[in-house]
Structure 1
Amino acid sequence: MNATATRFLYLARHGEATADEDAGELTANGRRQAELLGDRLRDVPLAAIHHGPLPRAAQTARLIGDRLKEVPVRAAEAAGDYVPYVPGRAELPADAADRLLAFLAPVTPDERERGAALARAAQERFTGPVAGDEVRHELVVTHAFLIGWLVRAALDAPPWRWLGLNHGNAALTVLRYTPGRPSAVLFFNDMAHLPAELRWTGFPPELRG
């Protein structure tokens, strides 16, 4: 029998960025958020930092990597910004369906297909126990939608339930995948490493703590 070991998956949304959806780069606040997250992770034995292809994710990953010791930083398309799943009305709670479907209405058929394929690739690449007998710690610097999707999957929640799982800039979520045990969410959207003035950026104003 092939041995498998526990994977700890650290998920972080990129730091605060300028408004340009595709070319947006980190603001001064975003750079500081990334540096503070790197400081928090300094004692974690990370095997790698993966990041999405957009500038705000790549810059965040590099700034985190600069605070660590010789951790490889790697781009991954599956860690990018995309809609992982578009539900039908029948899947959704009746009182929320109109709002959620309006939010997803701009997503084109091609974007739906590509997003679903990338979401599958992200789960295959980043989740589950790892081969061998050594525990692995990995960080994925990504976007709010993928974090919601992976947290949903870790909890075996319905596919639509990635919706509404918001994530602050440079906040930290940790998932654990242990052989023979259900996957676990150890913590979600943790901002303890950020001072008060750098918390809750990127979050809907009505939901900020």
Structure 2
Amino acid sequence: MSADQRKPVLVIGLGRFGAAVAQTLERMGHEVLGVDTEARLVQEHAGRLTKVIEADCTDAATLQQLGVGDFQAAVVAIGTNIEASVLAVLALSDLGMKNIWAKATNDNHARILERTGAHHVVFPEQRMGERVAHLLNERLLDFISFGDEFAIARLKAPEPIVGVPLVTSECRRKFDVTVVGVKREGENFIHAVPDTIIFEDDELVVSGKIEDIEKFSSI
């Protein structure tokens, strides 16, 4: 979908998380309406987003005035005020919004959001905390968890597999991980094949269970 075909996105709450979502959507080519109840945050983001409004989105009438039906999706990024978060999701759901994303601060908050109409619930602080914990392993350079013990990670090539093709090191059989690709300094990313030889300074993209990836990175 090209940028000019993308419908606008409504972002409710312009704290750190909401602002990051809104600004990223803008860079992707979406029009973004950012809404917050704090005048300070509205002024701060006035020049960064397509449009910014000071309003209370817990009220369905306010959302109707904002033209909620014209939006492709809504992101409820309110974190600390759980009541406002839930009421905003409920109002969006009552107005027929088909794609509601909401930020949760804990499991109980998440369950309430889901029951009041949120289609996707995210835990940004929890996810970031888990990611940082995994990256404390110095051989892991980047890490994405999919929430079911499965992950994709970027890591330094472990010494035992350096200098031989992947078919010889047998990473999948011995370590239960799959080497998806290789990034070599000064060269483009390449997709890994059985004949790919791993060099000492290579960075690997691997997939597998989190526990197996961590073991593999430390061999």
Taking structure 1 as the reference length, what is the TM-score of the superposition?
0.30
More strand by share: 2
Taking structure 2 as the reference length, what is the TM-score of the superposition?
0.29
Q: Which has the higher contact order (CA 8 A, sep 6+)?
A: 1
